[in-house]
Amino acid sequence: MFYFCLLSVYNFFQKHYTRRRSTARFIIIIFKAVKMITHIIQSQNTAPQDNLALEEHLGDICGPDDVWLYLWQNSDSIIIGRNQNPWRECRVSLLKKDGIQLVRRNSGGGAVFHDLGNLNFTFIASPELYDLNRQLKTVLAALASFGIQAEFSGRNDITAGGRKFSGNAFTHKKHVSIQHGTLLVNSNMGKLSEYLTASKAKLQSKGVASTRARVCNLSELCPSISVEKLKIALHGAFNQIYNMQAVCEPIIPQSNYSHLIEKFYSEQWNYMQSPAFAAQFETRFPWGEIQLYLDTRHGVIEHALLFSDALDADFISSIPPLMEGLPFSPENMASVIDGSTPQGADLKNWLLFLEL
């Protein structure tokens, strides 16, 4: 019966819309909706290394018809972007003294403080089913159930009344795309400022006072909200926006992704230990701040590191290997940068006029 109805809709569409490309696109959209399977999973673990490992594992097992909503919380920890310098972003010695975990995630973006007053959400889907607009609608619908009228703002924020309570970051691979974000419900703002540092360039562009003033907890906007209530609201909104009942998945045994847990616990991954570099350069673009570290020998670049809070993590991590082995000069470094994108053009132009 369903497919008879689908055929009737198709015939109507074909009769009234003669463009073949539009008809084909319509059919593709319908069949994607038919095949889609939504899943929701909640972590009972609060170790940031374990939760990030599970997130990556869900991306690895995500099939072409799957859309996952993953909800998780971390105990006190600093989570830095894939290409960030931990010594630049955090007070590392204070973190270690206080027993605060520092963990590097796979996505780009900046450093954030997590505690049990914050709820993390992750959408995981194949590139064909990944839909940022639909995913954001899910979050906004959940917040609206508490009377909070929110909107997506800037490059990666969710705000209400101009105040930020959520930062988002993204990872895109050949077979899967991931969006994850924070939701500050009742987070300890004092610790956030205690453990994170801000560069001079970031302070000059945003200002300390204005940055602190524009960040808020959702509990300030709705005193009755809680992490548990927000989890339930997100589950309901996920079903509503995707118009189907999500499969509630059981906890996945850690033995299935132990290699990923090992990765997120490793010092090498989290701190990316490196020797002192002879040359250091830094600047800030509208899309993010960068710090370039170069080690040279006999006028040739032997090692390069590029740290950044840019959201496009793959673009940033692709640069250092291109520079290694080049004669050390602005022209040579600029020559390997693809200037066809706005980010590439900015970086290429900056390198070209570096004062060595």
Same structural domain for residues 233 and 321?
A: no
The more confidently predicted of residues 200 and 281 is: 281
Can you give the CATH number for the domain in which 302 is found? 3.30.390.50
- Is 265 found in the same domain as 126? yes
Q: What is the pLDDT of residue 110?
A: 87
Q: How confident is the model at residue 291 (pLDDT cuts 50, 70, 90)?
A: very high
Whether residue 19 is found in the same domain as residue 42: no
pLDDT in tens, 152-211: 988 789 999 999 999 999 999 999 999 999 999 999 988 877 888 755 555 444 433 334
Domain co-membership, 305 together with 172? no
| Same domain for 220 and 111 | yes
pLDDT tens-digit profile of 11-44?
A: 444 444 444 445 444 444 444 555 899 999 999 9
Higher pLDDT, 30 or 299: 299
> Which pLDDT band, with edges at 50, 70 and 90, does 10 fall under?
very low
Q: Are 236 and 142 in contact (CB under 8 A)?
A: yes
For residues 214 and 288, state if they share a domain: no
In this structure, are 103 and 19 located in the same domain?
no
Residue 42 is predicted with a pLDDT of 98
Q: Calculate the CA dihedral of residues 310, 71, 101, 98 and round it to 10 degrees.
A: 120
Final residue in a domain of this structure, among 250, 270, 290:
270
Cα separation, 311 vs 322, in Å, equals: 20
- What pLDDT shows up at residue 356? 67
Per-residue pLDDT, 337: 96
Give the pLDDT of residue 154: 81
For 267-282, what is the mean pLDDT?
76
Residue 213 pLDDT exceeds 70: no
Tokens at 77, concatenated:
């920890």
Of the two residues 304 and 356, the one the predictor is more confident about is 304
pTM: 0.77
d(C-alpha 316, C-alpha 306), whole Å: 7
Asked whether the CA dihedral 264, 194, 169, 34 is positive or negative, the reply is positive
Q: Which pLDDT score is estimated for 1?
A: 41
β partners of residue 49: none
- Mean pLDDT of all residues in the chain? 86
Q: Are residues 170 and 263 in the same domain?
A: yes
Poorest-pLDDT segment among 197-211, 258-272, 321-335: 197-211
Does 89 have pLDDT greater than 90?
A: no
Alpha-carbon distances, residue 237 vs 136, 166, 240, 260 (angstroms)? 11, 17, 5, 30
Residue 18 confidence (pLDDT): 45
- Distance (Å) of CA 1 to CA 5, 8, 34: 6, 11, 14
Last residue of some domain: 270, 304, 324? Answer: 270
Q: Determine the structural domain holding residue 10 and report its residue range.
A: 1-35
pLDDT at res. 33: 52
More confident residue, 91 or 344: 344
Provide the pLDDT confidence category of residue 220 given band limits of 50, 70 and 90: very high
Which percentage of the chain shows pLDDT scores above 90? 68
Q: Residue 142's pLDDT is what?
A: 98
User: Which of 247, 270, 293 is where one domain is finished?
Assistant: 270
Whether 26 and 45 share a structural domain:
no
Q: What pLDDT was estimated at residue 13?
A: 45
Enter the tokens of residue 186.
Answer: 């009742």
Residues 265 and 287 occupy one common structural domain:
no
Q: How many domains does the chain fold into?
A: 3
Indicate whether 146 and 199 sit together in one domain: yes
CA dihedral (92, 95, 97, 103) in degrees, to 10, reads -90
HEC sequence for the chain: CHHHHHHHHHHHHHHHCCCHHHHHHHHHHHHHHHHCEEEEEECCCCCHHHHHHHHHHHHHHCCCCEEEEEEECCCCEEEECCCCCHHHHECHHHHHHHCCEEEECCCCCCCEEECCCEEEEEEEECCCCCCHHHHHHHHHHHHHCCCCCCEEECCCEEEECCEEEEEEEEEECCCCEEEEEEEECCCCHHHHHHHECCCHHHHHHHCHHHHHHHECCHHHHCCCCCHHHHHHHHHHHHHHHHCCCCEECCCCCHHHHHHHHHHHHCHHHHHCCCCCCCEEEEEEECCEEEEEEEEEECCEEEEEEEEECCCCHHHHHHHHHHHCCCECCHHHHHHCCCCCCHHHHHHHHHHHCCCC
**Mean pLDDT of the region 80-106:** 89
Q: Tell me the C-alpha distance between 40 and 330, whole Å.
A: 49
Indicate the pairing of strand 37-42 with strand 66-72. parallel
Both 41 and 26 in one domain: the answer is no
Task: Give the CATH number for residue 110.
Answer: 3.30.930.10
